[in-house]
């Protein structure tokens, strides 16, 4: 059985090396925005409260973002730093065991965030700023290598390059994240600090995102830890019907369980407790971990 990662030894920050197939880590979404598609923590106080709740429910990583992924008003580098860095500093003081990730594509924000205490850079826009990897290397931080199908930041996947059906989306996505992983290594990022993310819904329609989930084991087979960021996303809602983000939890958990079985090493989620339960049941079924409490039929 692989080790339980629900707790971290006293005095230690969660290490990325502990996130792997069979023991997936939970990354909680903390949006320091006012216009995110599902939940926002618009003030520093709200963000700290959200981090406290996430850590108590089982998150080992918190992913703090200052700009929504979708379209919206322009957020300058300075404003993004002002949103993100005080939160990073506060979390580093209040929750030293939690690994702090920052969701940004800008190297200036990444630099400030690492100085404030971040240990992981979640580059959701596929290396559009190559200096981001240099920041990760300089601070010995981790980096997430994602795939957006060539989209510029904060643009939508309208009539993307893959056509209506899935086609070669898996091959293209796999090649894209591997190229970025190799670029990160060339920039000096340690191999054990590199994570790959197939990035469903970014530059992809629902058929593509479903196909990526179906073949997620191909990404796990690369040896790089796989981050799955599907929490309440559009493809989940469209698989069910015309369903808003507020009604996508059950669908998200179904997809999460499948992804865990296929080798996901990290789950990014808005719903930490539900995700923790899904992980516990899935790894108990697969035999990767023992059930946490077994007295039925033994008393």
What confidence score (pLDDT) does residue 37 get?
52
**What is the CB neighbour count within 10 angstroms for residue 221?**
12
User: What does the mean pLDDT of the chain come to?
Assistant: 90
Query: Is residue 260's pLDDT more than 50?
Result: yes
What confidence score (pLDDT) does residue 167 get?
73
Query: Is residue 89's pLDDT more than 60?
Result: yes
**pLDDT tier at 2 (50, 70, 90 boundaries)?**
very low
Query: Is residue 73's pLDDT more than 90?
Result: no
Q: What angle do CA 94, 97, 98 make, to 5 degrees?
A: 80
For range 43-59, the mean pLDDT: 92
What confidence score (pLDDT) does residue 174 get?
96
**pLDDT tier at 154 (50, 70, 90 boundaries)?**
low
- pTM across the whole model: 0.91
Tell me, rounded to whole angstroms, the distance of Cα 12 from its chain centroid. Answer: 21
Q: Which helix (H) or strand (E) holds 64?
A: strand 61-65
Query: Is residue 87's pLDDT more than 70?
Result: yes
For domain 17-286, say whether CATH 3.20.20.20 is its number.
yes
CA distance between the termini of the chain = 25
Max CA pair span of the chain: 62
For range 133-159, the mean pLDDT: 87
For range 162-166, the mean pLDDT: 66
**pLDDT tier at 235 (50, 70, 90 boundaries)?**
very high
Lowest pLDDT segment from 114-123, 153-162, 183-192, 255-264: 153-162
What confidence score (pLDDT) does residue 101 get?
98
What confidence score (pLDDT) does residue 5 get?
64
Q: Counting Cβ atoms within 10 Å, is residue 272 exposed (0-12), middle (13-18) or buried (19+)?
A: buried
Among 124, 122, 106, residue whose Cα is nearest residue 63: 122
What confidence score (pLDDT) does residue 36 get?
60
Q: Which range, 67-81, 99-113, 153-167, has the best average confidence (pLDDT)?
A: 99-113
For range 42-70, the mean pLDDT: 91
What confidence score (pLDDT) does residue 1 get?
33
Query: Is residue 38's pLDDT more than 50?
Result: no
Per-position DSSP letters for 110-178, written without gaps between them: HHHHHHHT--EEEETTTTSSTHHHHHHHHTT-EEEE---TTPPTT---TT-TT-SS-TTHHHHHHHHHH
Query: Is residue 253's pLDDT more than 70?
Result: yes
For range 103-129, the mean pLDDT: 96
């Amino acid at each position: 059985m692989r080790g339980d990662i629900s707790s971290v030894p006293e005095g230690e920050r969660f290490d990325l090396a502990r996130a792997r197939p069979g023991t997936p880590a939970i990354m909680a979404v903390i949006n320091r925005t006012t216009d995110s598609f599902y939940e926002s923590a618009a003030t520093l106080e709200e963000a700290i409260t959200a981090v406290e709740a996430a850590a108590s429910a089982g998150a080992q990583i918190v992913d703090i973002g200052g700009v929504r992924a979708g379209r919206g008003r322009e957020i300058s580098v300075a404003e993004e730093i002002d949103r993100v860095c005080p939160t990073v500093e506060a979390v580093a003081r209040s929750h030293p065991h939690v690994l702090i990730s920052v969701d940004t594509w800008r190297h200036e924000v990444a630099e400030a965030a690492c100085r404030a205490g971040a240990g992981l850079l979640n580059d959701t826009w596929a290396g559009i700023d190559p200096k981001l990897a240099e920041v990760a290397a300089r601070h010995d931080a981790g980096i997430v290598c994602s795939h957006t199908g060539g989209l510029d930041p904060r643009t939508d996947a309208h009539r993307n390059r893959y056509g209506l059906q899935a086609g070669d989306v898996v091959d293209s996505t796999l090649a894209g994240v591997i190229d970025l992983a190799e670029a990160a290594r060339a920039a000096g990022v340690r191999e054990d600090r590199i994570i790959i993310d197939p990035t469903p819904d970014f530059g992809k329609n629902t058929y593509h995102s479903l196909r990526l989930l179906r073949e997620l084991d191909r990404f796990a087979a690369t040896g790089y830890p796989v981050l799955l960021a599907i929490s309440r996303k559009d493809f989940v809602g469209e698989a069910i019907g015309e369903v808003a983000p507020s009604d996508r939890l059950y669908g998200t958990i179904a997809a999460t369980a499948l992804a865990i079985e296929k080798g996901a090493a990290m789950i990014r989620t808005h719903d930490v407790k539900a995700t923790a339960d899904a992980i516990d049941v899935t790894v108990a079924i697969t035999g990767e971990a023992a059930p946490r409490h077994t007295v039925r039929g033994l008393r």
